[in-house]
Every structure is written in structure tokens, then in C-alpha cells.
Structure 1
Amino acid sequence: MNQSNPMPTPMVSSLRLHKNDSEIFDDPKKYRSIVGALQFLTITRPDIAFAVNKCSQFMHQPTIEQWKAVKRILRYLQDWATDLDDRRSISGYLVFLGSNLIAWKCEKQSEVSRSSTKAEYRAVASAQTEVMSIQQFLQESQVSQQVTPMIYCDNQSTCHLAVNPVMHSCCKHLETDLHFLRELVNRK
């Protein structure tokens, strides 16, 4: 889906999915896996909740039309400038302590990003700040931390930028976040 064109909405409002709307999709396990991941994503992306809910109703025997609807949601998520009025991206993250969700955030970024890498990098920096605050709280509460916190990001360019010591000229406006995260990555 990386090479597909982004979509402005997660679902066409006139779309009517139903049990027998087309032939059966040949990989129901893939359908269930992706829809399951999208259900998890609705926690930080409420804008896809309706479309994901609709697609999740057909997990038992998905059709090709329902698969197309899932792919449209993925294409919608690909568009980093999600707000059509101001083109600002939405940042979101979840923080778990063990298997327990203890913090989450979903907000519009304060600046327009000209690439998905920049938008994702800002989101990772925001998540890291939250993790550090939680670590400080746990330390003050004398709760031992057995595991080094991990931040997961699905944007490969953002991950490479976090560990690459070479400063790229296109990212100079991210310099503060860049050095902040890179320093923390180096310290493990």
C-alpha cells in the first residue's frame, strides 16, 4: 500500500457493504489481521472508527468488496496531512506499562508537515516526552523499572533518522527533536 494514492476519506458515504456483495475474498486470515490492527488503531484515530466498525462486521467471511473497503482505509491513513482544512497531521500514541494502557494522546500537530517522516518524527518525540514523564513519576514513586521502554514507529524513514548521526538539510527545522531523540536512542 506504500505506493498507492492516498484517499481523502476512510470510506465512501454511499458504500453499502453486505454479506453477499461480491465474491468471497481468498485470504480471510489477512483480512482479519488487518481489520484487527485497524480496530486497535481506532483508539488514537477516531476518524476511522465508523469505517473499521463496518468492515469488522464481516470478519467471518469477507468479500472482495469488503477487502476494497479495508484497503481504502489504509490509503486514507497513508495521507499524513489528514485535515482537509489546514493539512495538519494528527499525532497519536499509546503508552503501556506491561499490558496495561496507562496514557494515550491524539491531537492535531501545531505545524504543517511537508512529509510523513516529519509528521511521524514529531509524534515520536511527543511520545518520548510522555514516556520520560512516566519514568520520572515511577522513580519518584519508588516503582522499579525492569524493562527499558520501547517506542514503536511504523515509518522506516523516521526510524532511520532517529539513529543516523548525519544531519539532513531537509530536516533542519526538526533539529531540536532530532537531537533529543537521537541522544536518547544512543543512551538506550
Structure 2
Amino acid sequence: MIYLGVGANLPSPRFSTPRETLEAAMTDLDRRGIVPVSVSRWYESAPVPASDQPWYVNAVCRVSTGQDAATLLANLHAVEADYGRVRGAVNAARIIDLDLLDFRGEIRDGAAGPVLPHPRMHERAFVLFPLRDVAPDWRHPASGAAIDSLIASLDPDQTVRLLGSAGQGCVS
């Protein structure tokens, strides 16, 4: 299986909300031979690290494609550019962020292609909660840790909630 993380915390010039931008981008992925198979529920998450940025909208999408990991990542970056993402400061607010989280369980150090799995995914509530929606039995390819175990070990300062549930606290 192939899992992508999608997120944004700024509106784009073409769409009024980050979620609308991300939904349109997932449609554009299909046009590039990256077929969404399932999408998690939508979540809101506080910026990591903590800052005064707007909260992010996040989801995880399971996709199917015949592309290799490097080509897939290049296509993700092309979609980001099409939607107005300009890469600048690390952890900056963004119109769109498409991350390759897990590519068929492969483990790579980045010497020949992307680092796999995504190097910080196991530390991020905004990745793990939506990933659990689409892959409740998923295990980290490198550590073998179950997703529920990774969620239980998250830093308690990370705040994530279902989109539209403001004030209801953290998802568990």
C-alpha cells in the first residue's frame, strides 16, 4: 500500500478553504496516474512546532499507482507547485503539503530516491490519527510498531481533532 499525507493551513488563490484545495489536488493526482483508493476523515491540527500560524487541515490518502517512489514524489511536488506552493522556510504556513508517508513498506535512506518511510511520520499526531482511519492494522516499516502504539507514545502537546469539532479536545 502507498499512503500520502495531505495538509494545508492557508487558503489558495483558487479555493476558499484548505480542505477544498486538498480535495481538488487529490482529483488532480488521479489525472497523473495516482489513484486515490480511500481517504481518512479530515482533521485539524495545531502547527508543529507550536506557533501563531493558523491550524492545519490534514488527511491521509491511500493511493494506487504504477509509478516508482521517486516519480510519485516528483508528481506530488508538481501538484504542490501547480497549487501555488513555494518552498521556503521549514515548518512555514502553506497552501498545500503532499507527503509520501509509506511506499509499499519500503525502507530507504534517501541515497537513491526519497527517504522511506517519511522520517517524522511516527512523531506526528496529524499523520497517525488519519492514517489509522484508512489503515488500522498498519505497522511502521522500520520499527514494526503498531499504529496504536505509536499514537500512545505521541508527545501530549500535539493537538489534533476532527475537522469541525472545535472545542471538543484531542481525538483518541
Which TM-score band (shorter chain)? under 0.3
- TM-score, normalised to structure 2, is 0.26
Q: Which has the higher helix share?
A: 1
Rg (Cα) greater in structure = 1
Q: Which has the higher strand share?
A: 2
Pick 1 or 2: higher relative contact order, CA cutoff 8 A, min separation 6.
Answer: 2
